[in-house]
Amino acid sequence: MSESPVPHEPPIYRRIADGLRARIMAGELRDGDRLPGENALMAEHDVARATARQALAVLINEGLAVPKRGSGVYVRLFKPIRRHGSRRLSREQWGQGRAIWDADTRGRPFTVDEVEVARENATEDVSAVLESGEVWVRRRRYSVDSRPVQLATSYFPAALVEGSAITVADTGPGGVYARLGDLGLPPAHFTEEVRARMPRPREAGLLGLPGGTPVIEVCRTAYTSGGLPVELNEMVLDSAAYVLQYDFDA
């Protein structure tokens, strides 16, 4: 009878990463704490610098740690945002003057910055969806618990929203969907396409993403009850910050 093969031991950098992860999960290392640096790991485990760097990179790529240039690598624990696909977009939410983000954050503090609002010529792809050659564009960044988590760019047919609060920075209670309702164009149907990809350099910078962290791209189109497209929203989400929830009837 042949002997069962002996399982291979994981490489040393993995074992170092496993030990650090266990300390994080046990609460020994807390959010914001500095992890042992490369020199400390080299001395403790008698390994080369490249091995110590690999161990830290494992935690960075898992979203458990973030490097700060010239300072070190720090624990980054963050309770994921549960993004409920249908509940957050219900008319009950924005129709009563509540922000869609209130449904996502459930009382956690959030901020919006990097806001840009401009009238632009539509790209070919945007024009094909909105059936408009000119659009009003709203760009912004969302942060939760002081951490950037999402970039969003919304496009609106210029002729439909010209002169409304959609064309200024502060859209008022209920946001753009409430303002579309004021214009007699309340959204009644949404479609979303979701895919994962690696971030572009500007996206990685604005979201503060460590190397190797993918993003989730969500592209949503809002339609009136008559089927008129009134908004195209392209969102880029930090994949480590989100849980996407969708409910379906059988």
Q: Are residues 23 and 104 in the same domain?
A: no
Q: Confirm whether 4 is domain-assigned.
A: no
- What confidence category does residue 129 fall into, taking pLDDT thresholds of 50, 70 and 90? very high
pTM of the model: 0.75
- The count of structural domains within the chain is 2
Q: Are residues 70 and 86 in the same domain?
A: no
Q: Are residues 152 and 236 in the same domain?
A: yes
Q: Are residues 195 and 154 in the same domain?
A: yes
pLDDT tens readout for residues 51-79: 999 999 889 878 788 888 788 999 987 77
Q: Are residues 102 and 203 in the same domain?
A: yes
Long-range contacts of 236-239 (CB under 8 A, 24+ apart): 236/150, 236/151, 236/152, 236/199, 236/203, 236/207, 237/83, 237/149, 237/150, 238/148, 238/149, 238/150, 238/207, 238/209, 238/213, 239/63, 239/196, 239/213, 239/214, 239/215
Q: Confirm whether 6 is domain-assigned.
A: no
Domain containing residue 213: CATH number: 3.40.1410.10
Q: Are residues 89 and 132 in the same domain?
A: yes
Q: Are residues 67 and 131 in the same domain?
A: no
Give me the domain span that covers residue 143. 81-245
Q: Are residues 103 and 71 in the same domain?
A: no
pLDDT tens readout for residues 170-215: 998 888 989 999 999 999 999 999 999 999 999 999 998 877 789 9
**pLDDT of 116 over the 90 cut:** yes
